[in-house]
């Protein structure tokens, strides 16, 4: 398994488990997290192929000094990494950054309490 | 009282007595020097913490200004301020690497990332006015930036206050 695939899979698993948390940035639909002294950014962009219904996903890794060290675009160029996994990571990051699960739980708790 | 035995003992062992006395003086000198060194190190550490707090305070002030300029849509100033904040955060991370905990470093890194994302958006906004939802993201990022810097400033001031308390 390539290092890129391992990185995306582990980030996805840790984000879903709640052990890695993301923050929204000033850019719409872009989220950032800090891992091992580096920053990982994920965002959606207009699809290159205009006929695509879904936006493309870009993941950038910056080192401790803020320099961009590598980037993944839809997982292209990585044999075992596909677009769906990148999309799933972006969605998990969005849920983490916007604290969707906590908000849902609070609403559900309130609704159940109000019954 | 006959103290001749004492005189006798002193005259016979004056060398040993002087050695013991010398050792006592050396230990006392060592302890005083050690306390002075510890006090000097504490003072130095506190001075460094104060410098760190001043830098964080400066970054927070600039972040508040960035918030005001976002409201006034003065994008060029928002860009400059956010760049300055990102630079201060980078400087803090390098200069006070030993003083900062891992959690603090992570928070300051995140503050730098938020500041750099604000500067990117400000650059685009100076060409084309951002939409309502873009403005909301920008404002939320500025609030988060302020929150991160305030929290780290508070942490740093807490350490200074603790170190000023008598032990």
Lay out the sheet containing A30-35: strands in order across.
A23-24, A30-35, A38-45, A56-62, A68-73
Mapped onto helix, strand or coil, the DSSP state of residue B104 is helix
Q: Is the dihedral of CA B151, B154, B160, B162 positive or negative?
A: negative
Structure confidence at residue B1 as a pLDDT band (50, 70, 90): low
Q: What is the pLDDT of residues B56-83, one digit of tens each?
A: 999 999 999 999 999 999 999 999 999 9
- Stretch (H or E) spanning B85: helix B75-95
CA angle B55, B137, B132 (to 5 degrees): 135
C-alpha B132/C-alpha A78 separation (Å) is: 37
- Residues of A at the B interface (Cβ-Cβ below 8 Å)? 23-28, 30, 32, 34, 37, 39, 41, 62, 64-66
C-alpha A97/C-alpha A18 separation (Å) is: 11
Q: Poorest-confidence range of A47-56, B65-74, B134-143, B149-158?
A: A47-56
C-alpha B7/C-alpha B2 separation (Å) is: 10
Name which residue leads in pLDDT, B49 or A82. Answer: A82
Name which residue leads in pLDDT, B163 or A11. Answer: A11
Q: Do B137 and A27 touch (CB under 8 A)?
A: yes
Residue B36 in this model has a pLDDT that exceeds 90: no
C-alpha B106/C-alpha B93 separation (Å) is: 9
CA distances from B15 to B10, B26, B130 (A): 9, 16, 89
* Predicted structure pTM score: 0.79
Summarize the confidence of residues B77-94 as an average pLDDT: 95
B121 at interface of A, judged by CB pairs closer than 8 A? yes
């Amino acid at each position: 398994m390539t290092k890129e695939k391992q990185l995306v899979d582990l980030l996805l698993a840790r984000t879903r488990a709640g052990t890695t948390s993301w923050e929204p940035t000033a850019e719409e639909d872009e989220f950032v997290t800090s891992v091992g002294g580096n920053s990982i950014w994920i965002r959606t962009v207009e699809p290159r192929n205009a006929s695509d219904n879904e936006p493309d996903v870009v993941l950038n890794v910056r080192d401790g000094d803020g320099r961009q060290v590598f980037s993944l675009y839809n997982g292209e160029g990585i044999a075992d990494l596909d677009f769906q996994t990148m999309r799933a990571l972006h969605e998990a990051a969005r849920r983490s950054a916007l604290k969707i699960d906590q908000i849902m739980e609070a609403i559900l708790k309130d609704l159940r309490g109000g019954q | 009282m006959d103290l001749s035995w004492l005189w006798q003992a002193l005259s016979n062992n004056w060398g040993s007595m002087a050695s013991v006395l010398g050792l006592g003086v050396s230990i006392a000198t060592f302890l005083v020097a050690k306390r002075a060194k510890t006090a000097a190190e504490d003072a130095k550490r506190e001075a460094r913490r104060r410098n760190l707090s001043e830098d964080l305070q400066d970054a927070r002030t600039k972040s508040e200004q960035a918030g005001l300029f976002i409201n006034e849509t003065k994008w060029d100033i928002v860009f400059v301020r956010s760049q300055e904040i990102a630079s201060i955060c980078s400087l803090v991370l390098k200069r006070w690497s030993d003083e900062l905990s891992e959690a603090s470093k992570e928070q300051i890194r995140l503050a730098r990332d938020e500041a750099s994302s604000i500067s990117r958006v400000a650059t685009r906004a100076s060409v084309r006015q951002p939409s309502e939802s873009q403005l909301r993201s920008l404002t939320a990022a500025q609030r988060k930036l302020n929150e991160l810097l305030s929290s780290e400033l508070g942490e740093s001031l807490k350490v200074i206050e603790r170190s000023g308390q008598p032990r």
